[in-house]
Amino acid sequence: MPSWNSRGLRGSTLEELINRTIEKYRESGLCLIQKIPTPITPIKIDKENRHITLAYFEQKSTVDYIGAVQGIPICFDAKECIKDTFSLQNIHKHQVQFMEEFEKQGGISFILIYYASKNEFYYLTYQKLREFWDRMLSGGRKSFRYDELDKKFLFISGNGVFVPFLEVLQIDLDLRD
């Protein structure tokens, strides 16, 4: 059974930026997106600091966020990367399956990756994720390199929004038509 410890907080800054972004988008009437909490069972608690130091995940999570943008169902996961190579071990088989099923139901699935060393975000479409995933399953690389990414899906903070992913979501939608 998977467990969680202090390493589990690595993406918390990214998630906080995304949470603030979706709140701003919601206030503007652009979307309604929720963070999906991952249920955990605490095992060890630091009583002095009131922090959970060890816990087990009660069930497999699907994605970090789910909701709708102007009537379009979306789901996505948030990942942080400190190198120019992103390991596919950061994405789980059940997440890929959920995203695939979500797409089959007419939704849009993607992964937001924050490249910390470059201070850039990348919107990884489900289609591109699937290409990398299938390459791995057929014996190829178990990761993808920054230089393999389609540059039109790279973006930075701006326009008063921490993680302005709606602009690249629109690019994804335009390419699907």
Model pLDDT, residue 39: 62
For 141, the token pair is: 């690389």
Model pLDDT, residue 7: 41
Q: How far is CA 45 from CA 12, 58, 106, in A?
A: 19, 17, 42
Cβ-contact 75, 62 below 8 angstroms: yes
CA distance 113 to 136: 19
- Does 21 carry a binding-site annotation? no
What mean pLDDT, rounded, does the chain reach?
Answer: 87
Model pLDDT, residue 139: 97
Over residues 149-165, the mean pLDDT reads 91
CA distance 164 to 122: 11
Q: What percent of the chain has pLDDT over 90?
A: 73
Over residues 98-111, the mean pLDDT reads 97
Over residues 28-33, the mean pLDDT reads 96
- In which band, very low, low, confident or very high, does the pLDDT at 66 lie, cut at 50, 70 and 90? very high
- Does 70 carry a binding-site annotation? no
Which domains are assigned to the chain? Answer: 12-37+61-176 (3.40.1350.10)
Which one-letter DSSP state was computed for residue 148? G
- Does 64 carry a binding-site annotation? yes
Q: Which range has the worst mean pLDDT, 2-6, 61-65, 134-138, 164-168?
A: 2-6
- Does 62 carry a binding-site annotation? yes
Q: What percent of the chain has pLDDT over 70?
A: 85
